[in-house]
């Protein structure tokens, strides 16, 4: 499969673009993830001409507005230049299916960036470039490299990347009413693991040829917004039990008991999600079901990523 294009803060790939001339190379990103994603580096601070090395900058609250200014020389204010740079990169960002940002950066931080006000500070800020980039690209899955160490956040981020990639493939092949409803059907169980899928389904209920583009735009925005919240163990159990229902006529009593026990062990945190999924796949190989086979829930991304092994 062709690698999926992902934006990334340049320093995370090992490029010496930080204020001190160094980098913050991330071995998980440059190792495991690089086998599946085509990383496209961006460094807004270098992009606006600050150079390397360069004077350090931080976020400061000035008259109710947040500015990005020099620490030693507060007359250096790059706020608007960073916003403009995000606007200038909009076309490049539009081709991406995800973006990994540098934690804590006054330009690239996704959240919890320090904002100074006099001698006090809080962690309520967002990097100036990152904020504008995310505003201009509301569908784009965005995450920070530090949060990728959390199994749930990592799985959620990569799942969203693959959903958006499939959506862009759908658009490239030509959007139709049938292809849109089929896309929804294949993702219905994934949606169910995050929230009730019926609201998204209702968007498609009155679909017509004239309303196709408008409905599709509303659908994908609502879908990507819904998927931002990681699925819970409880919601996965609901999906697993729903899937189990497709086997009710095919399983022996002993197999039903075993499957229920495995799902219950997952509910209680004794086994990871991969265990009940593996058992379900085993039963569906013996008793195939076209809907389950067509669904992305049990195969949302390459198994080699091993993302569900820790969920």
pLDDT, tens digit (0-9, with 9 covering 90-100), for 49-59: 999 999 999 99
Evaluate if residue 62 carries a pLDDT over 80. Answer: yes
Q: How confident is the model at residue 120 (pLDDT cuts 50, 70, 90)?
A: confident
Q: How far apart are CA 109 and CA 119, in angstroms?
A: 21
Of the candidates 246, 255, 247, 301, the one whose C-alpha atom is nearest the C-alpha of residue 274 is: 301
Encoded tokens for 309: 């092994």
pLDDT 10s digits, 173-207 = 999 999 999 999 999 999 999 987 788 989 999 89
pLDDT number for residue 206:
84
Q: How far apart are CA 147 and CA 219, in angstroms?
A: 27
Quickly list DSSP for the chain.
Answer: -PPEEEEEEGGGGT-S-STTS-----HHHHTTGGGTEEEEEE-HHHHTT--SS---EEEEEETTEEEEEESS-TT-B-HHHHHHHHHHTHHHHHT-S-EEE-TT-TTT--S-EEEEETTEEEEEE--HHHHHHHHH-TT--EEETGGGGSHHHHHHHHHHHHHHHHHHHHHHH---HHHHHHHHHHHHHHHHTTS-THHHHHHHHT--TTTHHHHHHHHHHHHHHHHTSPPPHHHHHHHHHHHHGGGTTT--HHHHHHHHHHHHHHHTTSS-THHHHHHHHHHHHHS--HHHHH-STT-SS-GGG-GGGG-
Q: Residue 225: CA atoms inside 13 Å, Cβ hemisphere, count?
A: 9
Most distant CA pair in the chain, distance: 75
pLDDT 10s digits, 220-278 = 999 999 999 999 999 999 999 999 999 999 999 999 999 999 999 999 999 999 999 99
List of residues 6+ apart from 182 with CB closer than 8 A: none
Q: How confident is the model at residue 136 (pLDDT cuts 50, 70, 90)?
A: very high
């Amino acid at each position: 499969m062709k690698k999926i294009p992902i934006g990334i803060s340049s320093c995370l790939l090992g490029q010496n673009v930080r204020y001190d001339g160094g980098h913050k190379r991330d071995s998980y990103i440059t190792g495991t993830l690089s086998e599946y994603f085509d990383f496209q580096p961006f460094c807004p601070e270098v992009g606006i001409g600050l150079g390397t090395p360069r004077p350090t900058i931080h976020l400061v609250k000035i008259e109710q507005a947040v500015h990005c200014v020099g620490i030693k020389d507060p007359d250096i204010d790059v706020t608007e230049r960073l916003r403009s740079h995000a606007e200038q990169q909009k076309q490049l960002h539009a081709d991406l299916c995800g973006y990994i940002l540098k934690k804590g950066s006054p330009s690239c931080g996704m959240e919890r960036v320090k904002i100074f006000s006099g001698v006090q500070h809080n962690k309520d800020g967002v990097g100036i470039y990152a904020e504008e980039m995310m505003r201009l690209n509301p569908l784009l899955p965005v995450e920070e490299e530090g949060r990728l160490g959390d199994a749930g956040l990592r799985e959620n981020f990569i799942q969203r990347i693959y959903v958006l990639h499939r959506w862009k493939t759908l658009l490239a092949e030509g959007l139709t009413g049938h292809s849109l409803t089929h896309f929804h059907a294949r993702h219905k169980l994934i949606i169910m693991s995050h929230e009730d899928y019926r609201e998204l389904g209702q968007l498609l209920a009155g679909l017509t040829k004239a309303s196709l583009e408008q409905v599709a735009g509303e659908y994908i925005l609502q879908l990507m917004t819904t998927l931002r919240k990681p699925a819970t163990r409880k919601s996965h159990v609901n999906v697993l039990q729903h899937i189990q229902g497709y086997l009710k006529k095919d399983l022996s009593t002993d197999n039903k008991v075993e499957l229920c026990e495995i799902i219950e062990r997952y509910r209680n945190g004794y086994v990871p999600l991969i265990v009940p999924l593996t058992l379900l796949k085993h039963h569906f190989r013996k008793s195939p079901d076209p809907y389950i086979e067509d669904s992305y829930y049990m195969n949302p991304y390459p198994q080699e990523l091993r993302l569900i092994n820790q969920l």
